[in-house]
Amino acid sequence: MMFKKFRFSLSFILLASFLLSFQASANTNQEPKDKLLLTILKYVLTEGHYQPQEINDHFSERVFDGFLERLDPTKRYFLQSDIDEFSNYKLLIDDQIKNEDLTFFFLVYNRLEQRFEDSKPYYKELLENPFNFEDDEILNVDFENLSYAKNTQEIVNTWRLYLKFNTLSRLHDKLTIEKDKQIEDNTYIIKSLDYLENEARLATLTNMDETFDRIKELTYTDWFSTFINSITEEFDPNTSYFDPSDKKRFDISMAGKLEGIGARLQKKNDYTKVVELISGGPAWKQGELEVEDLILKVAQGNQKPLDIVGMRLDDAIEFIKGQKGTEVRLTVKKIDGTIKIIKIIRDIVEIEETFIKSSIVEKDGKNFGVINLPKFYIDFVEENYRNSATDMAQEIERLKSENIEGLVIDLRNNGGGSLQTAIEITGLFINKGPVVQVKYRDKAPDIKNDKDPSVIWDKPVVVLVNELSASASEIFAAAMQDYGRAVIIGAKQTYGKGTVQSVLDLNRYHNMDADVGALKMTIQKFYRINGGSTQQEGVHSDIMLPSRYTYMEIGERDIENSLKYDKIAPTPYTLWDNYQNFNETVNNSKKRIGSNDYFKLIDKNAKWLKENQDDATVELNLQKFSAEIEATIQESKQYDQLKNYTTNLTYNSPLYETQLLADNTDLAEKRKVWHSNLKKDMYVEEAINVLSELKIKPKYQLVKN
């Protein structure tokens, strides 16, 4: 297995652009339901969206640019002459939306199909003859700043460079395998470079053929939906259209989507992205798959891997999930651009493992509790079914019985969930009062309060967050910070998802005998009790811990066209001013982190990852290509010690779980894995350090804000 920089994803970008470029048969008939959809969307978006856009010439320009970028992201199909012709409509799309006119869409759509047919022979012809890997050529992948080809000759040359890269990548893999074989057996004779180059070229050809076969499955609806989403997502990136078939499967948090490896998956452009790992699931236990990984290929055991770039999400999931006990091998692109094959044994993903769990750790003769909350869960159908608020209260009471002195609440990778439970959980730590402000457009904010004056935990609290803590997690962390109730430790800032979406069935707006799909639309915005929005800004930690995501573009603030941060009036609330040494403890932690060699190395690693991610050139000379890969491998070795880090802390299950673990060996194994991971977790370790220093004032003091 070899490590590769960002450039190694290019072969898959190549495939993705194929998949953005085909439809089985041309269609110029403007169907009534498609035209009607434009009117419905215009009405719903302008009347219901939290921050509606004016559908004018400026809006038209943005839709124009966005649609073309979606169709030809690597600029290998359209000619500059095509763009010049399309540009006649650049300021007219807004008028066409208002007039139920799809002329622009069909012009671009049919031209794309034509250009696709024109380019079909390229890859076969270019792969007939060997590539010269001694030439000093470079592939530029800064697509945004590339120009469209002026003629067919330029397009063919672009194809040549991409296919050359694709083949070079495979050739390097084969050379590495051959060298490894010779190391294992010094009598082994390495195959010739010409032989391996031919094998690599044939593999590229096969890969292209398979890709074209899958392209044929795409329908007119896919491309029309692409155009419609170019319109809806100009309002904000969380507003999107679902055609009738997508409407039935858009919620990938459903149980069927979690079968097999225990990962929640999402479509990102043409990639299948990991957005959450289910606690205790197979992928979580295996430990190599991470949030933000892009799954490129799927293999059933040692069978030939299948490329899933460009594949529909539900189809990709069908290949990933499978029967308990079977092995799946995922080829993934990591956030540093490296390509890795991860082997996971499928299992039944139990919902139990998405629930709250706790552990007890001793430090300096005192016991502290660690509560992991994977999500803010609730069942809106069964009122008496467990939810995160009642579970949190019960877990705290159980830990109190074991005389813990402080509590770490781990919200890392918690993407949110129920607003109601976030409010109720906040209420466990404060007297009654406001928790969050929720605002519809053009209306006064609705202040959501904790109405229960009781407090079940009045000792120190540390809330641990990272860049993937979002939505309800940010509401809870923000309230705990605004009240001064907890020390927030972790990422520089959390994800910054401060908006609320609602899914609307668009069929309620017409009487035709046709299904026009659904719209997920942003309708509300969250604001802290101090008046600031969590949108884009998220929650800034009191104590920042460096992580491999520190310099990555990973939050809502990094998504083009996301709603902006703003402020409204604060609502009155009473500070929980009961810490004796809050500032001193925070400063002590910052000093520890600043002098900690491991945290320094994490920060250095994060900068290195960002540098590799930003590299936009690819060497197509075999010697230079191999040298860069080897340099990357050698550079990465300086960070290997981070994987071996361990603390001197020991984590144990609370006493109430003793019998449960004795009766349930699977649960016992899951807890063993979790505790092992906690022992290696320097972030939890520092949270415990902070917790152990925090002191409560002898007397409680109320300070009015």
Do 526 and 537 form a contact (C-beta atoms < 8 A)? Answer: no
Pairing of strands 366-372, 357-363: antiparallel
Tell me if 377 sits within 8 A of 354, measured CB to CB: yes
Judged on CB neighbours under 10 Å (0-12, 13-18, 19+), 325 is: exposed
pLDDT of residue 73: 87
| d(C-alpha 413, C-alpha 681), whole Å | 15
Residue carrying structure tokens 């994803």:
9
Domains 240-345 and 355-596+647-704 share a fold: no
| Positions of the chain with pLDDT under 50 | 1-26, 250-258, 701-705
Specify whether domain 240-345 bears CATH 2.30.42.10: yes
Q: Give the separation between CA 81 and CA 152, rounded to whole angstroms.
A: 11
Backbone angles phi, psi at 700, to 5 degrees: -75, 135
Strand partners, 439: 525
Query: What tens digit of pLDDT does each residue of 169-192 get?
Result: 899 989 988 998 999 899 999 999
Query: How far is 195 from 192, CA to CA, in rounded Å?
Result: 5
Q: How far apart are CA 441 and CA 463, in angstroms?
A: 31
Would you state the pLDDT for residue 256? 31
- In the chain, the largest separation of any two C-alpha atoms, in whole Å, equals 83
CA 382 to chain centroid, in Å, comes to 30
C-beta of residue 334 within 8 angstroms of C-beta of residue 639: no
> % helix / strand / coil in the chain, to the nearest 5?
45, 20, 35
* Fold type of domain 355-596+647-704: 2-enoyl-CoA Hydratase; Chain A, domain 1 (3.90.226)
Q: H or E stretch including 281? A: none
- At 347 the pLDDT is 82
Helix/strand/coil for 157? helix
Pairing between β-strand 499-505 and β-strand 518-527 as defined by DSSP bridges: antiparallel
pLDDT at 643: 86
Q: What pLDDT shows up at residue 699?
A: 66
How confident is the model at residue 206, as a pLDDT? 86
Residue 147 Ramachandran class (φ > 0 left, ψ -120 to 50 alpha, else beta): beta
Domain boundaries along the sequence of the chain: 6-232, 240-345, 355-596+647-704
In the 8-state DSSP scheme, what is residue 256? G
Which residues form the catalytic set?
Answer: 471, 482, 497
